[in-house]
Structure 1
Amino acid sequence: MMSDEESVIKSIPVVDMGQLGVGVAGDPGKDEWERVAEELRDALTEVGFVYLTNHGIPRKQIEKMFSNSMKFFRLGDEVKKKYASLLEGNQDGYIAIKPEKHDATSKGPDLRESFYVKPMGGMFPDEEIPELRRVASAFHASCKTLTARLLTAMALALNLERDFFTSTHKELFIDGDNMSVLRLNHYPAIPPSTPCNSIRCSPHTDYGTITLLFQDDLGGLQVRKGGGSWVDVDPIPDTIVVNVGDLLQVWTAGKLVATEHRVIIPEEEIQRRTPRQSIVFFIHPDTNTIITPLDGSTSHKPITAHEYLISRLNNTYH
């Protein structure tokens, strides 16, 4: 009989980062780069989502990020509002449950609150949680290293120069030149009075190049596969979920696919009463990067990464 983990893996591919993991010393070598590149290409072409194993980001570092994130969300509403995001292209700070809505057909807001971290010198609850800035800075550095290796492997997978993507993502987390952002998510416990058509995060695709997702053990994330069915992306210990964003789909002329996904409310009562957490690193190209299909087609007009992201943010929050 197939285990739950084996069942998940059959739906969402798994790529072992091997010698490309964070903290691995030495040059991985051509064969290792080509292996990871090929496996990423197959996964992101067919599904648009992949689990990464042996990614190299220390478990303790991830656990500290989750624990400090929860400390913030346990603060009182008035305290959290002191750190409210300005929204207008400034993803820095707290967003309460009501403002964000991805799906125009949804009958209510997404049941999620978030804290955006960009840049490291930006808005932090230093008075209430002095450790958060330091922990987030270390976590960001690890994510940035992993991102560079993923972008290099993806360039090789597409037969591009190995620095094609890293050269257009030079300003990650440098204020003003790149809109990549770390987002801490908190999905509160579901009250009994919650309408039956509510959802924790309505169906959407991500906006940028790729997304790194760190889940807790509650689950709820689903992706829409071909034919319209929803497939669970259940948590697998010590993995990171990576998915393609809209800009990368445009950039690769649809070769790599940005797959619609959502976070549902669990049916089990014990899980409904348990808050869910996730940490997401949204990777975007540098703001002035011109995005145009790599195959030379005219299926999409050229647009800067900044212009595209601002248009999507305006649609999300207004």
Structure 2
Amino acid sequence: MKEYVPVIDISDIYQNDKNKHLKIAEQVDYVCRNSGFFCITGHHIPRDDIQKIKDLSRQFFNLSLKEKQTISILNNEIYRGYSSYELEQLDQENSIDYKEMFDMGYHLDSDHPEVQKKDPFRGPNIHPEILIPGWTQVFETHYKKMTELARVVFKIIALGLKLEEHFFNAMFYESLSTFRVIHYPGLPEQRNRVVCGAHTDYGILTILYQDNIGGLQVRNQENQWIDVPPIEGAFVMNIGDMMAMWTNDHYKSTSHRVLNTGHDRISMPFFTEPHPDQLIQCLPQCSDKQNPPKYPSVTCREWLLKRFKAAYNE
């Protein structure tokens, strides 16, 4: 497995064969300790689901700015809804991001105790159902399917870390996981412009569908930018900051960015993040006297709030 962003077939994880499970876990463990980026095939997300999301997303992003702003992320305190161009800046040294987005998370009704307390990130999703009938069901169903895929991948990661296979899953009850759809407009006169600045992801693990346009790059250990080419039917996976903190940097949260290719592009990341109260602290087997914990313990809520406020310049 010499590729910096290898392709791993996880189909055997759905079979009842522990030896095959461990073989997949070994592959994933290796790449998480080296590049922190890999692609998976053999998952159970239908291509028709992806196509429905893409079609509805294009309908939404083709609406007028006034229509899209009716569900603006600026109208609420839970970071849900529409973000217009240049609102989020991931590279804090260079304000270069040029994209528009729709964000949703785990839906909590208005009478949920955490919503009543006005906890950060907690509340009902804000869908453009009036503008695009049928949107809500398609997106909420996809969110559930992506949550199940995340559980499968976390089983693989747990096995690779020599943990009980369901170690992570209990932490994702009413999680803060976010599903995002990003529209990068084609800018023919600005090919190779950075439209999403270099950054590491905030959460545990990102599961990304990128369309066939390309533009995603990852920074390798020699500080070179490596293309992550689209692979039909595959998801790109990358380790986020909280997993690096959990594993004391045994697993790599790797910097990445997006270049403009001159063509319109849709990207669909699912950012897996646990329950807001989950404490992120070094796993016992990831530290010793020679390699003590590098990061202070922090709750998921505290960490995400810090990163979101920085990205949105609050």
- In which range does the TM-score fall when normalised by the shorter chain? 0.7 to 0.9
Instruction: Name the structure 1 match of 2:48.
Output: 60
Task: Indicate conservation of the 8 Å contact 1:203/1:262, yes or no.
Answer: yes
Instruction: Name the structure 1 match of 2:71.
Output: 83
Q: How does 1:35-184 map to 2 (within 5 A)?
A: 35-86=23-74, 90-106=78-94, 108-120=95-107, 121-171=124-174, 178-184=175-181
What CA distance in whole angstroms lies between the structure 2 residues aligned with 1:298 and 1:217?
40
Task: Indicate conservation of the 8 Å contact 1:97/1:109, yes or no.
Answer: no
SS in 1 for 2:135: helix
Instruction: Name the structure 1 match of 2:115.
Output: none
What CA distance in whole angstroms lies between the structure 1 residues aligned with 2:268 and 2:309?
23
Deviations 1:94-126 (A, max 9, x none): 0001211111332x4311000001235511111
Deviations 1:243-262 (A, max 9, x none): 00000001001111000000
Q: How does 1:10-25 map to 2 (within 5 A)?
A: 10-20=3-13
Range moving further from structure 2, 74-83 or 110-119: 110-119
What CA distance in whole angstroms lies between the structure 2 residues aligned with 1:229 and 1:191?
25
- Pair 89,260 (structure 1): closer, same or farther in 2 beyond 3 Å: farther
Q: How does 1:255-266 map to 2 (within 5 A)?
A: 255-266=250-261
Instruction: Name the structure 1 match of 2:279.
Output: 290
Taking every aligned residue pair, what percent have the same amino acid on both sides? 31
Deviation of 1:240 after TM superposition, in Å, equals 0.5
Q: Which of 278, 294, 297 is the aligned partner of 2:267?
A: 278
Deviations 1:224-278 (A, max 9, x none): 0001001000101110001000000010011110000000122xxxxx1x21101
Deviation of 1:212 after TM superposition, in Å, equals 0.5
Task: Indicate conservation of the 8 Å contact 1:99/1:109, yes or no.
Answer: no
Deviation of 1:222 after TM superposition, in Å, equals 0.2
Task: Indicate conservation of the 8 Å contact 1:124/1:132, yes or no.
Answer: yes
Q: Runs (4+) of structure 1 moved beyond 4 Å?
A: none
Matched positions, count: 291
- Structure 1: which 5+ runs fail to align? 1-5, 172-177, 267-271
What CA distance in whole angstroms lies between the structure 1 residues aligned with 2:243 and 2:303?
12
Which AA in structure 1 matches 2:220?
Answer: K
What CA distance in whole angstroms lies between the structure 2 residues aligned with 1:89 and 1:164?
31
Q: How does 1:188-267 map to 2 (within 5 A)?
A: 188-190=185-187, 192=189, 198-266=193-261
